[in-house]
Chains A and B, each alone.
Chain A
Amino acid sequence: MIKAVLFDLGDTLWHFPNMPPHIVIREETVRRINALLSTWGIDPDGGLLFLGRDIRVAVERLTAEAYRTDFVSPDYVDLCAEVAGSFGLRLTDEQARELWDAWNLGGQFFGRTLFPDALDTLRWLQERGFKLGSVTDRAFGGPRFMAELEEYGLGAFFGVVTISSDVGYLKPHPKIFQHALEALGVRAEETVMVGDSLRADVAGAKGLGMVAVWKRPPLNEPTEVGADKADVTGEVAPDYAIDNLWELTELPVLNHG
């Protein structure tokens, strides 16, 4: 019997239908990093203009490499220190953390938008006694991201939010799912995983014996850097496929009275 439902976030509960143009994102990144450098007494002029761009390139490269190999989440704060080092800046651990924080513009800036039926669906599940949680691949977690979840009204629903960069493993690695299952006190076969990636969500969930629901992703929409891509190819078939979250309320496994 199903006791819990876990959700992916990007392109599952929310999406980015109005992502700003790349150059607007770049301009804001430069602005925030320059402001940070100024507080350290560093003149941001000259070559440091490219610092934010190089962090992005490194984030993309390391994340792609992790997906290709061991699904161990890269250490992004270390990466910031390393990239800054290539510009001749020697950062303390605290400064590297501040740089990583400044580089992250936050979901609001990217036009993050909940799907219209997201909150209703979560409420429907919660009212029927299902434990809810989120398992998400993201480069940026921690308290600031949890605060963002609150802003979208999601905090109240989730008994656990497991973020790859916080637990060290990317979906589909079993450990990130196990973290969420343990926190909720449920077994894999008692759990439904809902997500848009056939590789990260569906294959990951099925590997542990969970029920996998594939939410077909919106096509041609951008995703955040370091988030799991909307993967529409995979070797593992989902148990169910849906286009809208509310369809979950009609699935037999979630309607056992």
Chain B
Amino acid sequence: MIRAILFDQGDTLWHFPRMPAPAELGAEASRRAVAVLEGWGLTTDDGLRRLAMDTFLKSQLAELEAYRTHLVSPDPAAVLREIAAERGVEMSLEQARELWEGCRPDGAFLSRTIFADTAATLRWARERGYRVACVTNTLFGGRPLLRDFEEEGLDGIVELVVASCDIGYLKPHPKIFEHALEALAVRPDETVMVGDSLRADVGGAKEMGMTAVWKRRTDAYAQWEMDWQKQGLIPDHQPDYTVDNLWEITELPIFVPGGSST
């Protein structure tokens, strides 16, 4: 019997239809980083102005490498701290984390747009008594990520948000899912994972013994994942169900009338 539903974040709950170009993102992150650093009373030189974008690139490359291999997530705050030290500025890991969280552009800048049926679907799940959590691969966790859920009015609905960079493991590593399952006190066979990635969400769920719902995507990224599957670089897991819109999950046979409490 199903008792919990885990959702991926990007391209599952919301998307970024007008994501600014990398150079614009870098400039915005740098602007924010400079504001934090100057708030600390530091004078920012060229190296410090580039701290945020350099941290992002280095962390992203480490994350991609990990995603293909060991699935241990880099900690962007640790990466930032290391680069800052190379440029002559020592800071604590807590300071590095504050700076990293402070330099993330806000949802409006990133063009974050919630799907029209997201809130209704999540509310449907909670009303039926299902536990609801978000499990996401991201380099931006912590407070700013929780704020995203608040801004979208989902903070009272999603009980738990688990971010790979906070936990130290990327989906499909079992540990990131286990973290969510333990917090919700449910077993894998009682849990549905909904997400748009064949490797992270579908593959991760199937290897854990969860029910996998693939929110289909047809863009270049999905093509890449399918190519990886064909080349044998990632396991060829098939989803239990495929949907195009979140609301379709309310019609899946696993969610028996009356919900999980009956």
Contacts and interface: CB of A to CB of B under 8 A. Distances in A.
Which one of A20, A23, A56, A61 has the greatest number of beta carbons of chain B within 10 Å?
Answer: A23
A19 B21 CA distance: 14
B115 interface: no
Contact of B57 (A19, A46, A53, A61): A53
A111 B23 contact: no
A111 B57 contact: no
Interface stretch (A24-32, A127-135, A150-158): A24-32
Contact of A27 (B23, B61, B86, B224): B61
Contacts of A60: 21, 23
B220 A20 contact: yes
Contacts of B109: none
Contacts, number: 42
A19 B26 contact: no
A108 interface: no
Interface residues of B, number: 19
B220 A21 contact: yes
A22 B23 CA distance: 11
Nearest to B46: A86
A69 to B, nearest CB: 19
Interface in B24-81: 26, 50, 53-54, 57-58, 60-61, 63-65
A49 B224 contact: no
Contact of A24 (B26, B54, B64, B86): B64
Which of under 10, 10 to 19, 20 to 34, or 35 or more describes the interface residues of A?
20 to 34
Contacts of B223: 18
B86 A49 contact: no
Contacts of A49: 54, 57-58, 61
Given A18-B220, A21-B220, A46 B86 contact: yes
B60 A23 contact: yes
A27 B64 contact: yes
B262 to A, nearest CB: 43
B58 A19 contact: no
A172 to B, nearest CB: 23
Interface string A5-46: 000000000000111111110110010000000000000001
B241 interface: no
Interface of A: 17-24, 26-27, 30, 46-47, 49-50, 53, 56-57, 60-61, 111
16 contacts: A20-B220, A23-B60, A23-B63, A23-B64, A24-B224, A26-B57, A30-B61, A46-B86, A47-B86, A50-B54, A56-B23, A57-B23, A57-B26, A60-B21, A60-B23, A111-B220
Given A26-B61, A49-B61, 14 more contacts: A17-B220, A18-B223, A20-B224, A21-B220, A27-B61, A27-B64, A27-B65, A46-B86, A47-B86, A49-B54, A53-B53, A57-B26, A60-B23, A111-B220
